[in-house]
Amino acid sequence: MSRIVFYHPSPRWNGVARVYTEIGRALAARGVTAAMACPAASAVAAACTGLEVLPFDDRDSLLSDALRLAVLLREFGADAVMVNNESEHLLAAFALRRNGRGVLFRHLRFHLVRGSRCAWCRPGSCMARPRRRAPLDR
């Protein structure tokens, strides 16, 4: 049986916490053991009905937080961790690497601008019209 942890260090209930809770409940209905790693006395922990709550208070020290998360994941027996941003990714990657097992999932945001083109792309690339390349001279 798979075991997944949704890592949400913020005590505030927001869109990410709502999505994590809904995904966790859907996975739990399919037999996956899902848990939310969040501050124990928070709105997130109170709203996580149907999920196991793993108490994790962020202490603003990356190394100590990563070591504590590694212990928490090892005790839970996590096979996968879901994170939302770069700092959470770094923390969970270190914890999983320290444990020697686990898969890390990260939500990536793609910001689109008008014309359905990526903000970082130049005209003629990405989702825009593909460029034609000249044939190679041989």
For the segment 90-137, what is each residue's pLDDT rounded down to a tens digit? 999 999 999 998 999 997 776 555 555 555 555 555 544 444 556 666
What's the average model confidence in pLDDT over 15-35?
94
Structure tokens at 88: 């959470």
Hey, how many other C-beta atoms are within 10 angstroms of the C-beta on 99?
15
* Domains detected in the chain: 3-110 (3.40.50.11190)
For the segment 52-90, what is each residue's pLDDT rounded down to a tens digit? 999 998 777 888 999 999 999 999 999 999 999 888 999
Structure tokens at 81: 């961790």
Whether pTM exceeds 0.85: no
Helices vs. strands in the chain: H and E counts, helices first:
4, 7
Task: Give the pLDDT of residue 108.
Answer: 77
Angle at 109 between CA 106 and CA 115, to 5 degrees: 155
Structure tokens at 106: 């990260």
